Structure 1
Amino acid sequence: MSDLSLNEIVDQLRELTRDLYWFSESDYAWEVRILPEATIAPETVRQQSQKPANAEIETVEFDPFFQRAVEEKDWYGDRERETVGRYRQLVQFLQENLHDLIVYRVGAIEVEIFVFGKTKTGEVVGLNTISVET
């Protein structure tokens, strides 16, 4: 785990996700999020979301979630290969700088996605975006 400060991690995440969109029926950018609590719990994530209190929440493991984003297909063109490369950099950065990485999906159809982990000093930081899935 690196010795980067919270501010350095946030700055790097902003740079790594600039103009990077999740694969879904609509393109939404990633936003850097910092949780005020030192725990990563479903209820905390639900409070951070724009969804109603009774919205469905699902926990997903980090590696399987990002698998399709980091896997290059034979038929990919230059733009798709560049996006895969950027996702590989992002995943590597998250793995090297955060521990206890977890992904939450909140809601249905227009799903809010949160990727959180803890810094070496215990702060909770991560990303969120929206995935449209009909």
Structure 2
Amino acid sequence: MPNEITEKLKQASDGLLMMSESEYPFEVFLWSNQAQEALTTQKLFQLTGHPPETSINQVELDYFFRNCAVEKEWHDEVQKQDVHKFQTLVKTLKDNLTDIKVYRLGTINIDVYIVGKTSSGDLAGICTKVVET
């Protein structure tokens, strides 16, 4: 069922932009048969094509989306709709993937990979970029 999961993630992330100092869309990925072994830093670098000296840190899923998926009193209707879309995205990730981890690779221009395991032994998720100077 891997296509089903990527399809759900595509639908849930469609049109959403990750806000930072710049705005980037989300891309869906599927790494077939990669969930049998632990996802080491080294393996993540291989899968994403990052050099081994890239700085990496890991955050919780809810923490990563803390500014996007929580409605604030001052939000207008459009922002509220976006919050709802981010909540749906987080729920879609949690409903379809287990053992979800959020990896931030690099500094300033940071590649973010939200990776989880599928029931069929693949790794899947979404990636985006954030800019933090």
Decide: shared fold, TM above 0.5: yes
Compare the two structures and name the one with the higher strand fraction: 2
2:97 and 2:118 in contact (8 A); partners too: yes
Map 1:82-121 to 2 at 5 A. Answer: 82-121=81-120
DSSP 3-state at the match of 1:32: strand
RMSD in angstroms over aligned alpha carbons?
1.4
Structure 2 CA distance for aligned equivalents of residues 73 and 29 of structure 1: 22
C-alpha distance in structure 2 between counterparts of 1:31 and 1:48, whole Å: 15
Deviates more, 1:100-109 or 1:117-126: 117-126
* Structure 1 residues 1-134: aligned runs within 5 Å: 5-36=1-32, 37-38=34-35, 39-49=38-48, 51-134=50-133
Gaps of 5+ in 1: none
Once residues 74 and 50 of structure 1 are traced to their aligned partners in structure 2, the CA distance between those partners, rounded to angstroms, is 41
1:75 counterpart SS class = coil
TM-score by length of 1: 0.89
Identity of aligned residues (%): 34
Give the 4+ runs in structure 1 shifted more than 6 A.
Answer: none
Report the alpha carbon displacement of residue 50 of structure 1 after superposing the two structures with TM: 5.4
Size of the aligned set, in residue pairs, is: 130
Q: CA deviation at 1:57?
A: 0.6
TM-score (norm 2): 0.90
